[in-house]
Amino acid sequence: MYAFLPDAVQQGLEEARKAALKRKDRLSVRDGDNSYRIRRLWDDGFALDLEGSDRLRGHVDIYDGPKHLYQCLVISSVAEDDERVFEFKWLTPVASGPAADFVQPDFVPAGLIGS
Alpha helices in the chain (DSSP H): 7-24
Alpha-helix runs per DSSP H in 25-62:
none
What's the pLDDT at 70?
93
- pLDDT per residue over 19-77, tens digit each? 765 655 688 998 888 888 888 888 889 998 888 777 788 899 999 888 899 999 998 88
Cβ pair 77, 95 in contact under 8 A:
no
Select 26-93's CATH number: 3.40.50.80, 2.40.10.430, 3.30.450.40, 1.10.15.40: 2.40.10.430
Give dist(CA 58, CA 27) in Å, integer: 19
Q: E-strand spans in the chain? A: 27-31, 34-42, 45-49, 58-64, 67-80, 83-93
Domain locations in the chain as residue ranges: 26-93
pLDDT for 73? 93
Higher pLDDT, 92 or 50: 92
